[in-house]
Structure formats: structure tokens, C-alpha cells
Amino acid sequence: MKDLKAIVASIKYVYNEAKNYSKSYIGKVVVYCILSIVAPLLLLLLPTICVYYISTQGDFITFVLVLNGVFAGYITCLSISTYLEQMITWDNTFVRLKRFFRKIYEKCVECDYKFYEASNAKEERLKAEEALYSNWRGVELIMKTTPKFFIDGISLLIFVASSTVVSYQVLLILLGMIIVFLIIEKYAVPAFIKAKANLTTHYNKERYIYKSSKNELKGKDIRNYRLANLLDTAMNKQFTLYAKYARIQSVVLVLPNLSNTIFGFFRDLVAYTLLTTAVINGSISVTEYTLMIGIINSISASLVKIGKDITDLHSASLETQDFMIFMNEQSEFNHGKGLDIKTLTRPLSIEFKNVVYQYKDLDKPTINGLSFKMNPGEKIALVGENGAGKTTIIKLLSGFYKPTSGEILINGHKIDEFNIIDYYSLLSVINQDVEILGVSIKNTVAVTDLAVDEVKLNQAIKDAGLEAKVASLKKGTDTYLTKNLDEEGVLLSGGETQKLMLARALYKDGDILMLDEPTSALDPIAEGEIYQKYNDLTKGKTSIFISHRLSSTRFCDRIFYLRDGHIVEEGSHEELMAKHGEYYEVFTIQAHYYQNNGGNGYESVF
Amino acid sequence: MKAFFKSFRYALKIAPSMLLGVIIQNLASTSLVFVTLLYGGNLLDLLVNHASVEVVQHEVIVLVSLVAGLTLIQLLADIVVKTNDNTVPFKVDQTIARKSMEISYDQLESQKVKNLVQSAEEGSNGFGGFSDFIINTVSALLKSVLTVMYAIILFGRVMVRIESTNTDPLFVFLNNPYSFLIIVALLVMMAFLSFFLLKYMNKLMYAMYKTNIKANREGQYLGEIMEDYRYAKDFRIYNYKDMLMRLIDSRNEEVRIGFTGFAKGAAKIAVIEVLAVGLLLFVSYLYIGAKAYFGIITVGSIVTVVGAISSFATSINEFVSNISNVMMQTKYLGNYFEFLELPVDKVETDEKLSGDQFEIEFKDVYFKYPNTEDYALKGVSFKLTPLKKLAIVGRNGAGKSTIIKLIARFYHPDKGEILVNGKNIETYEFADYQKILAILFQDFNLFAFTIKQNVSSSYEGDEEKVKECLDRVGYDYHNSKKLVHGLDTYLFNDVEDGIEMSGGEQQKVAIARALYKNSSIILLDEPTSALDPKSELVVYQTIEKLVHGRTSLFISHRMSSTMFCDKIIVLDKGKIVQEGNHQSLMQDTNNIYASMFNEQAKYYK
């Protein structure tokens, strides 16, 4: 029963989308169904008409005319329904590609960040996509099968209604066939889905290995460390498992048909025996015999088709349900009305109050009762060893994670009091790992493909130190980055890329600035240039720097030294150096390379 | 034609059971159709001729058993075919993967080979790939041949004449066996029509494919980006959503327009086919029906023969379509073979590198990357002396990483030579040469396998040796709570549920991998860039231990990491501008080395 409700819900969901895509879609499907029911009925009549006229030696001209009429009807119905079928098939592919994939992409970009990190959240997303993988699965399968189900169902009803002459024995066998089929199907479909899911899992793993093998970034390590063997062996392991599930899936698919074949044997035996006997002892005519054999065959064929339709709808709806679950995932954050950010006094103040955050798969909180205050316009450096919690703090402040407990306050207001999109607009972030999107420089800096403020754009580019580079490009700011969307796209060097990120942050002019190891790939001179600019960038903003290069902390008003999710030392550079604590230790390590023009070597510092 | 046989032989090699399965499937399904027609018709005749119960019953049993039996056989063959349908693309992927790892690095990077790989992928999986190729080929040959055979047998029943005194011209015409040629003529016309329609269809498809290829590729690119977790943060903070949706929508719209045009064309073709078949069916029923009406043939034959004509027509269509598909697939598969047969620069030699220590020398090397104007290296000469530590420093873009790639033989010098122990490095086999080098690339990659597998670079590694390497590099695996399965814990999530490692942890593991390899020469490009100060110090302090007994080359743009080296080379815009050790270089205050050093040092004053 639950399955039935799910199937109906899935069908409604899918057709709703189809209707949104094209208003005439439903109409086309209805006409197609009607014609597809009528055409085979007409075709069925043909042998019967022949046998009737011949065995009764009816008028030849009438015979030809009747034949003509039936054929004309048949061909007309079939032609129109064929045309519609083709158009509907392409429409189906479109709805899947245009509307459904689009929904997933949109959801990916706007859903909570945690869907990318927690391993089971990623599973949910991958499962949702399975409903869209091909035109024989999920949503498109529903679109293909629902009309078929109605056609086969109504055809069956018509046959059954006109087959009162069919003996009860045959009907009993048919009934048995349906019942056994439904029972098998109840277990076969979930088994099939599971096998399919396993197939997809191993396929995805194979895809990773496959893509790695031809990836040019990984190609260097593959060649120097002779990793071809390792990758090949790993791929073989996946193949073994994949082949196993492929076999299981094939068997499960064929099982219901097996049952049908066995029942079919008995059904045909009984039907033919009864009918031939009836003809021999004169109860029915040869014409009636022909008709009834035709009807029985049609009923059986319909049942088999309906059986397959039910199986397909069942499995497609399971996949569609996964899709719906993912699409219905609620955000943890406030997507509704929030405080008007325009009313906030700038620069902003930031406060963490007893913030606790625990990652789902870890057994201990990473941040456990962290409290600190950042004054308006202050520059804070966040330092500490790897794993101390620096990145977690950034993600919490970015509005990617919600604290397990405690509060994060902006000018005294909780992040939740703002609409999350409004909140994001307060932030300018520059990260260590830069992923370049293949759009133009202008699109990247202004983050839009629509009209931009050219003055502001050029200013941002100038301030980031990219003026010369942009001037050297033929298309200027309209030059595309990478060749993914434009053959004439360019690749920027590491330093130029960082400057581009800076330009974007400048253009956005966010009030909270977060810089996470932005210069680690730059040489000292380029780094120095950028640091100058960061200094300008932070004027009037409240900012956080993360860097291992403690050289960056000199720009900051205060430094937080983090260990195990706690701030263990806090103060200005001079204050912390005077303390002779952990910061002092780490700073001295870095400094000693440069003392005495580097004459100290690597002796122990302490 | 030759290409076809090549594809067929190859398909046999990778999917032998599929071939068998498809053959059986086709034999069974074709026979099924004709058994039903033949025996169904016979049964009708027996009834009309008032045969006895026993004879009729016998015919029934034969019919029903044959149908059930053939269906069963078909189902079993189905299992085999379906399984192969799934596994064959997987196997094909493996061949492409193997080849990709075999070709040289500069081939891998070249645009030409990248395009070839893409065509190979499309070739082997496009249009149904190898499995469809097999299915279509067998279908075309077997099914069609069998159908024609069966049909001809059945037609024998139609081309008969009876003795009669009827002079009705219609009767005389129908009684002439050769009047059947009308039907034959129609069948022949249908075959031609089928052929032309298919050609037109392929043309439409190709046109759509061509116009859509760019939009499809871009749409796919955008979709992948939107699902990629690495972009997720930026997309939210900088509100990329609207722009991305518009970009995707425009690609979708382009594709939709192309598709709709194609769909209308395809629909018209389908309708024409329906009309053609309909006409054939109509004429057949009329002709056969009339013949039966006049008693020239039996009533039962109607069903049999019309069915046979129908099957024959269908199989003509299928035959034409199959042949066309096979031709298309052979063409696509050609791209796949072109990639597999790409010549790999193999050095034919028995010479092996021998000895414990190796000296690498650059002799006046000039090099520029493919498709660039400027030289990345201009007349670079230096020696990497055994057991010594050499540093190469310079600004970004100076050419430091290029030197590493040339030493690794990923590229070849345009002018000049690179020697190992006096002989050109290209003299030796690539695999043999790689043994003497362990490289930590600036943009190194770890893989989604276990830590042990990553460090040992093999499927089964030496656990003790792995532990030793991790200890030397300071990666604390004993206490790490993350390592649920110890060294058998997977990295990342792509293959098994694994852990995420910070940049610093990854760097340590990568250094350990280089150590495990135990090569005489170790090249390290920015080895501590992601490490925190304490970890970095540990690495420097243990550098002696790390590279003990080996020859090492360090690349960095941070002075702190090169001061311990025996010799430092300063590279600027592809040329060596300074050489010496730290002290001597610092004395030349006007040059790059000192200015870079001071630029960094000033923060620590």
C-alpha cells in the first residue's frame, strides 16, 4: 500500500514538472493513449474479418470494403500515435535534462554546505542523481511507462469485457499468473534496485580511478611512482564486484518473466485444448475460435506488459522518491525574512559565545566552548597547528555550519536573525585553494554575467594589481579563463589568480573579510606586493587572517593562538612575544632562519 | 570492411560470452515467431478440415511446448546478454585507462591526444558501444538470414495454384502463382525506402550532434562544476547561483532547439515508415484474403502468411537499420582504436642504469612548452652532484618546476642535453630511468586508496617500511584518532569511505612516499609549503636524515628552506643568474637572492 502511494506521488511529481515545461504535454499524452488503445483493437479484427468472410463466403466487394475501412482507421490511428510518440519521447528527454537536472544543479548550489562534506549527505545527493542518469530510469522511465500502463490497462479491460466467452479455467490460470507475478515483483524490485545501487556505487569508484588515470595533474605522480599497476589492480577489484552485481541484476530482472513463461505454458495448453475441443464438437465456429485465440493472446500479452509496467513504475518511483527526498531537504539556515543589513553600523563587530561544534563522524567536538570578541574594524590573525580548528572557525563564521551550541553574533545579532543570502553578502573570502570557473574575468570579479559597474570593476582590477595583465589581453576583462567555455580562454599563473581573487573580494566590498592562506603559493616578492594590498583591503572592515607564515600577523591588531579548539593565547604581536608562550615559540622558529642573515642553520632553537 | 572485421575480432576478445548469448537470443526469438505462425496456422487448417481430436491435441501440445521452451531459452540468453551489456563498457574503460597511463606525459598533456581520448570514449561507448555493435551485427546477419529462410519456406504455401474451371479474371489472376510478385515488388520498394529513410535519419542525427556538441560539452562542464564540492564555498559566499543558472539555461535552450528540429524530422520519418508498412499489410491481407476466399489457399494460411510477410517486412527494416548502425559503430570504434594504437615512445635498448649513485647534468638546455612562444629555459647548465644537496630558487614562473619536469623526462629539451652519469637520459627505458628518481611535485597528488597503498605506491605494501617512512617525516599515525583502520584507512571518499587530510598531513604522506621509493635521487618541489612552522622545522632538522645517502634537489621560493643546501642556483626568467651557497649569495645585495631573502626577513625583525 505504501508502495502504491509512493508510485502515485512520484507520477504526480514528475507530470507536474512536465506540465511546467510544456502546456501541451499532457494533451499529447492523452491523445496518444487513446489512439494506442484503438489501433491494436482494429488490427486484431483483421484476421477475424478474413476468416468470417471466407468461411461464410460473404460478398467479395463487401469484404474488400470492410477491410479497407478497418485498415484506414488503423493506419490513421497508428500514424498519429507514432508521430505523437516520437515527439513525446523527445519531450521526456528534455524534461529530464532541462527541468530535473537543472533542479539538482540549482539545489547543489543553494543547499547547505554540509551536503558536500558529510559522507552520507553526499550519498543522498548521488542517489538523487540516479533518477536522472538515463532515459531508462527514474523520472524518464515514469514518463515513458505511465501512458503505457494506462494503455495496457484499458486494453486489458476491453479484452476482458469482450471475453465473456472465455472459459473460467483460462481466467483462473491468468489470475494465478497475475498473483504470482505480483508476489515475485514485490521482492524482485527492491532486490533489483539494490543491485542497481551497488552497480552505481562501484561504477562511481571505477570512474574515479578511470578519471585519475587520464588526468594530467595526476599523471606526473603516476609516472614517477609507477602507479599504473596500483590503479589497474584497484580497477580490477571494482570490476569483480561490479560484474557480480551485474549478474544479480540480470537474474532478478528476468525472474518475473520466468514465472510468466511457466504460467504461459499452462494457460496456452488449457486454452488451446478447450477451444479446439469446442470447435470440434461444434459449440463454436472457426471464426469465433480465431477471435478468442486472438483475445486470449492479447490478454496474456497485456498482462505481461502490465506486469512489466508495474515493475518499471515501482523501480522508477523508488528512484524518484530519492530525488524528492533530496529536493525536499530543508536548510538549517534562515532563508526567509531577516534583519535589514543596511541598518547595521559599520564596521561590524563579531563575537563567538561559548561556541561548540562537533563534526558528525568524530566523537569529540572540534570546537568546545570557544569565546572571543572582535571589535569593529579589527584585524585578527588566527594561528595554530593543523587540526587546531582554524578552518572550522572560518566555516562557522561563513555561515556554512551551525554551531552545535553557543552563538555567533554580528553586532550583537545571531546569524540566524539574518536571511542567509543577505548574510553571505557581508562576507569577502579569499581561500588558499582557488578553483577557477571558466567564465570571463569580468564575470569572475563582479560575479555576474549581466551588466556591471565598469568603473568599479576597473578600480578593483587596478587595486588588485592586475591592470597590466588585463591590458595585455586582447579582449581585456571579457577574456575567458580556461578554455572550457571559450577556445581563446587563458590560464593565469598562481600569482595572477590570487590577484584575481583579491579583485573579486574588493569588488564585493564585504564588511567581514576572511583570508585563509591566500599567499602560500606565491614567491616572497609577489607575496609582499599582495600583503600591501591586503592592508588596504582591510580598511574599515573587520578581518581574520589565517596563515602559517607568521609574517602576515604583523598586519594584525591581535593574534589568537589556537590549540585543540581553544584560544590559548591572545594579544598583539608584542604582547605575545613578551609572554614567551606558544606563539613566541612558533614565531621564533620561523624567525631564526632569517636572523644573522640566516647564519644560524637549523640548530634547535630552544 | 577491414575496419569492421577488426572491430568484430576485438569485440570477440573482450566479450565472447556476449556473442554466444546474442546468437542464441536471436535464434530463439526468430524461431518463436515462426513456430507460432506455422503451428497456429496449421491448427486452424486442421480445425477447418475437421481433423480428429487426437491429431489436434498433438498439434496443440507441440505448439505450446515449443513456445514455452523457446521463450525459456531466450530468457536464459537474456541474462547473459544483459550482464555483458553492463560489464563490457567497464572493460573498455580499463583499456583506455591503461593506455592513458602508458603514453608519455607530453602526449597526455597535448591537446591532440586529449581530443583523441575524448573521441575514443565517445567511440567505444557512443552509439551503444561494443555491446550494441555485437548485438547489431549478429542481429543483422543471423536474424535477417533466418527470417528470409523461414519466409521463403512459408511463401511456398502461397505460390500455388489449384485446378479449377473458374474463368473469373480475378480468380485467374489470383490463381497464377506469380501474382505473388506484387507483394515481392512491394517488399523490395520498402527495402529501398527503409534505406533512404535511414540515411536521412542519420544525416539529421549527425547535424544535430554537430550543432549540439559545443552546447552539450559546456552544459556538462557547468553541471559538473555545480556539483563539485571544491567550488561550493565560493558559490555561496559570492552568490554565483543566478549567473550559473543563466549559463546553464542558455546551453539548455540551444540544445533544445537543435533537438526539437531533429525530433520533428525523426517523427516524420517514423510516420512514413508506418504508412509504408501499413500499405504492405493492407495489400497482403487483400491478396491473401482473396486467395483464401477463392479457395486457392487454406484459411489457416492467411494468418501464417500475412504474419510471415509482416515479419519479413519488419526484418528488412531491422536489417537495414542494423547494417547502418554497424557502419556507424565501426566508424566510431575507429576512433577508439586510433587511441589504443597511439605510438608510445619506446626506447629499444638492453642498457640498464647501474650503480648506486647518479649524477644529473644539464648541458646548455633550452626548452619551451608546446604551443608557446617564449623559452621557459634558456641555456641552463648545472650539475646535480651525487650525495650533495642542491637548491634552485627563484620567483614564480622562473622555470624551477620546468627543470624538474625535464629531469623526470616528461618533456624533451629543444636544445642541449640532459645527462645521467654522462649519458643522455633518453638512452634508457623510461621505466628504468624513473627508478632512480623520487619526486615530490609542487602540485602532488595522493589517491583515494589506503595510506599504506599511497606511501608504498603499490597494492600490497611493506607495512614496516611504510611506518618507518612516516616516522621519519613526523606523521603521527599512532595517536591519530582519524585513522580508524590504521594504515589501511582510506584517503578521501572516492573509492571507500575515507578521511580528509589537511594540506599539511598530505604533504607529509607525500614526502613519505618519496622516501619509500628509496631512489638515489630525490627531488622536492616546495616540500613544506603547507606545513605549519613546527612541522616545517621538524622536516628541516631531519633533512639530513631524510636525504641521507641520496642526492637531493630542493626547489623553493622561500629562503628558509634552502639554506642548508650545499649549493644554491638562482633562476630568473629561465636563466641561471647566481650560483653559490647561502653566505656567498647574500653578499651580492643587488641581486635577486638577497632581495628575496630580505623581503621575507623584514617581517621577522
Could you report the per-residue pLDDT of B427-436, keeping only the tens digit for each?
A: 999 999 999 9
- The lowest-confidence range among A8-22, A533-547, A569-583 is A533-547
State the average pLDDT for chain B: 87
From CA B292, how far away is CA B162, in angstroms rounded? 12
- Which of B94, B103, B224 to probe by mutation at the A interface, max A CB count within 10 Å? B94
Residue-wise pLDDT tens digits, A214-227: 888 899 999 999 99
pLDDT for A352: 95
Q: Does residue A82 sit at the B interface (CB-CB below 8 Å)?
A: yes
Averaged pLDDT for residues B278-289: 87
Better-scored residue on pLDDT, A199 or B159: A199
What's the N-to-C CA distance of chain A in angstroms?
A: 74
Q: Which residues of A touch B237 (CB under 8 A)?
A: 398, 424, 427-429
Average pLDDT over residues B566-593: 89
Smallest Cα distance from B382 to chain A, Å: 22
Is the pLDDT confidence value at B442 over 50?
yes
- d(CA A92, CA A138) in angstroms, rounded, equals 12
Minimum-distance CB partner of A230 among B94, B405, B453:
B453
Residues B174-185 have a mean pLDDT of: 84
**pLDDT band, very low/low/confident/very high, at A165 (cuts 50, 70, 90):** low
Q: What is the pLDDT of residue A460?
A: 93
- For chain A, positions 300-359, list CB contacts with chain B under 8 A: none
CA B264 to chain centre: 32
The residue written with cell numbers 510468466 in the block is A260
Q: What pLDDT was estimated at residue A605?
A: 43
Average pLDDT of chain A to the nearest whole number? 87
Q: Residues A566-595: pLDDT tens digits? A: 899 999 989 999 999 989 988 888 888 777
Which residues on chain B are in Cβ contact (under 8 Å) with A82? 267, 270-271, 274
Residue A15: pLDDT band with limits 50, 70, 90: very high
| Contact between chains at A525 and B595 (C-beta distance less than 8 A) | yes
Q: What is the arrangement of strands in the sheet containing A405-410, beginning at the earlier edge strand?
A: A367-374, A350-357, A405-410, A413-414
Beta bridge partners of A380: A544, A558
Fold entry, domain A341-605: Rossmann fold (3.40.50)
DSSP state of A98: I
Q: Which three cell numbers stand for residue A587?
A: 614565531
Q: Across the interface, do B83 and A219 touch by the CB < 8 Å criterion?
A: no
Q: What part of A 156-185 touches B (C-beta under 8 Å)?
A: none
Q: Which three cell numbers stand for residue A42?
A: 482494429
Q: Does A265 contact B256 at a Cβ distance shorter than 8 Å?
A: no
- Strands A512-516 and A427-430 come out as parallel
Chain A positions touching B86 (Cβ under 8 A) are 199, 242-243, 246, 249-250
Tell me how close the Cα of B145 comes to any Cα of chain A, in angstroms: 27
Name the band, by pLDDT with cuts 50, 70 and 90, for residue B414.
Answer: very high
Nearest residue in A to B269, CA atom: A83
Q: How far apart (Å, rounded) are the C-alpha atoms in residues A506 and A508?
A: 5
Q: What percent of chain A has pLDDT above 90?
A: 41
A82-96, B176-190, B458-472: which has the highest mean pLDDT? B458-472
Residue B2 has a pLDDT of 84
CA distance B363 to chain A (A): 23
Predicted confidence band of residue A606 (pLDDT cuts 50, 70, 90): very low
Q: Which helix (H) or strand (E) holds B20?
A: helix B16-48
Query: Is residue A389 very low, low, confident or very high in pLDDT (cuts 50, 70, 90)?
Result: confident
A256: confidence class by pLDDT, cuts 50, 70, 90: confident
Residue/partner pairs of B579-585 with CB below 8 Å, 24 or more apart: B579/B382, B582/A598, B583/A599
Nearest residue on chain A to B564, alpha-carbon basis: A601
CB contact under 8 A, A280 and B50: yes
DSSP SS3 for A350: strand
Contact residues, A window 488-507, toward B, CB-based 8 Å cutoff = 493-495, 504
* DSSP string covering A375-425: -TT-EEEEEE-TTSSHHHHHHHHTTSS--SEEEEEETTEEGGGS-HHHHHT
What CA–CA distances, in Å, run from A137 to A93, A127, A313, B490, B558?
11, 12, 10, 32, 55
Q: At what angle do helices B2-14 and B129-138 cross, to 10 degrees?
A: 110
- Please give the model's pTM, rounded to 2 decimal places: 0.82
User: At residue B209, does pLDDT exceed 80?
Assistant: no
Q: What is the mean pLDDT of residues B74-102?
A: 92
pLDDT reading at A601 higher than 60: no
Amino acid at B148: V
Q: What is the ipTM of this complex?
A: 0.86
Do A602 and B513 lie within an 8 Å CB cutoff? no
- Helix, strand or coil for residue A371? strand
The pLDDT of residue B126 = 62
- Structure-model confidence comparison of residues A601 and A358, the more confident one: A358
Domain residue ranges in chain A: 2-327, 341-605
The residue with greater pLDDT, A62 or A29, is A29
**Selected residue of A32, A42, A54, A97 to mutate for chain B interface (largest B Cβ count, 10 A):** A54
pLDDT of residue B214: 81
DSSP B179: G
Q: Which CATH superfamily is domain A2-327 in?
A: ABC transporter type 1, transmembrane domain (1.20.1560.10)
pLDDT band for A164, please (50, 70, 90 cuts).
Answer: low
Residues of chain B above pLDDT 70, percent: 99
**What whole-number distance in Å separates Cα of residue A282 and Cα of residue A279?**
5
Interface contact flag, A520 B86, Cβ < 8 Å: no
**Does the CB of A61 have a partner CB in chain B at under 8 Å?**
no
Sign of the C-alpha dihedral computed for residues B260, B266, B270 and B272 taken in this order: positive
From A5's Cα to the closest Cα of chain B, the distance in A is 31
B134-160 burial, b at 16+ Cβ within 10 Å, e below that, comes to bbbbbbbbbbbebbeebbeebbebbee
Q: Which of B262, B448, B600 sits opposite A594 (nearest CB)?
A: B600
pLDDT, one tens digit per residue, over A125-152 is 878 888 887 777 889 899 999 999 999 8
Nearest to A246 among B87, B493, B541 (CB): B87
- Chain B neighbours among A 187-206 (CB < 8 Å)? 199, 203-206
What is the DSSP code (8-state) at residue A58?
A: -
Contact B233 A398 (CB under 8 A): yes
Tell me if chain B has a CB within 8 Å of the CB of A575.
no
pLDDT band at B321; cut points 50, 70, 90: confident
Residue from B500, B375, B507 nearest B441 by CA: B507
Helix (H, G, I), strand (E, B) or coil at A248: helix
Give B568's pLDDT tier (boundaries 50, 70, 90). Answer: very high
Q: B450: pLDDT confidence band, cut at 50, 70 and 90?
A: very high
The three three-digit cell numbers of residue B225, written as one number: 562544476
pLDDT for the residue A600? 54
> Which cell numbers in the block locate residue A37?
488503445
Label residues A70-98 b or e (16+ Cβ within 10 Å = b).
Answer: bbebbbebbbbbbbbbbbbbbbbbbbbbb
Which of B229, B302, B604 shows the shortest C-beta gap to A590? B604
pLDDT at A604: 45
- Asked whether the beta carbons of residue B597 and residue A425 sit closer than 8 angstroms, the reply is no
Q: What's the pLDDT band for A201 if we cut at 50, 70, 90?
A: confident
pLDDT of residue A118: 62
Main-chain dihedrals φ then ψ at residue A558, nearest 5 degrees: -135, 160
Is A26:A15 a contact under the CB 8 Å cutoff?
A: yes
Min distance B435 CA to chain A CA atoms (Å):
8
How far apart CA B540 and CA A601 sit, in angstroms, is 9
In this structure, of A56-65, B204-213, B500-509, the range with the lowest mean pLDDT score is B204-213
- By Cβ distance, the residue of B57, B93, B513 closest to A210 is B93
**Residue numbers of A between 353 and 412 with CB closer than 8 Å to B:** 362-364, 384-387, 398-400
* Nearest-by-Cβ selection for A102 from B239, B248, B453: B248
Q: Is A598 at the interface with chain B, CB within 8 A?
A: yes
**Four-residue CA torsion sign, A114, A118, A121, A123:** positive
Q: Do domains A2-327 and A341-605 have the same CATH topology?
A: no
Q: Does A250 touch chain B (CB under 8 A)?
A: yes
